[in-house]
Amino acid sequence: MTPSPVIELRGAGKSYPGGVHALRGVDLTVEEGELVAVVGPSGSGKSTMLNLMGTLDRPTTGTVRIAGYDVSELSDARLSALRARHIGFVFQHFHLAAGRDAVDNVADGLLYAGVPPKERRARAREALAGVGLDHRRSHTPNELSGGEKQRVAIARALVGEPRLLLADEPTGALDTASGALVMELLHRLNGSGTTICVITHDNEIADALPRRVRFRDGAIVSDLRSGPRPGPRTEGAGSCARTEGAGS
């Protein structure tokens, strides 16, 4: 049986009070194992797309299915459970807890997954090793570089082995070298089977990814691919512990 797409939007629109149409009739399918850039300038609709793909909001019109579930048919509690099980988030500004070491920050990614504390920490250590930070696991955020903080955030997003990773401007707060290392890590994670959507305004970052979905004025204006479609996800592919050599 063919697995359902990770993301499927059909005629999806989003409007806000005052006649603001943030998205207009968007059709988009993201299959298992894809690495996709959602790119556009400020006001193009990409942030609204992030909210819909991450089940942080529901469409006003049309349908949004994530991991096979129609988000408009789910209660808030079931949407929260869907996010906890299937979606990992990485943000521009890391959102790490100050004063807590890297292991504790990554373990927080399992807080709502029903995993016992001892197992959470063990899986967090494994995840940190997967992003090349085993040697920094006892360090707090103020002892880490920007690139290291973002890799801790990526490990936290993936420690629960979600089907989908949403990375919102993941290099926006980093210098060029650190940003390049983070993008290299995302490519390697995708190579192990993780489905990743990178939301960005940066055309250079978008152009380096195998699929680029460009937004303008709330609509898709182009959807370009380079290379073959990905194969099916392998067991355990979502674990960042399967990724090695992330750089420093």
- The domain limits of the chain are 7-242
Per-residue model confidence as pLDDT tens digits over 138-179:
999 999 999 999 999 999 999 999 999 999 999 999 999 999
Q: Please state which CATH class domain 7-242 belongs to.
A: alpha beta
Both tokens assigned to 192: 């192990």
**pTM to 2 decimal places:** 0.88
Per-residue model confidence as pLDDT tens digits over 73-104:
999 999 999 999 999 999 999 999 999 999 99
**Backbone φ, ψ for residue 190 (5° rounding):** -65, -35
Listed as own residue / partner, the contacts of 143-146 with beta carbons closer than 8 Å and 24 or more positions apart are 144/102, 145/178, 146/173, 146/174, 146/175, 146/178
CB 241 within 8 A of CB 130: yes
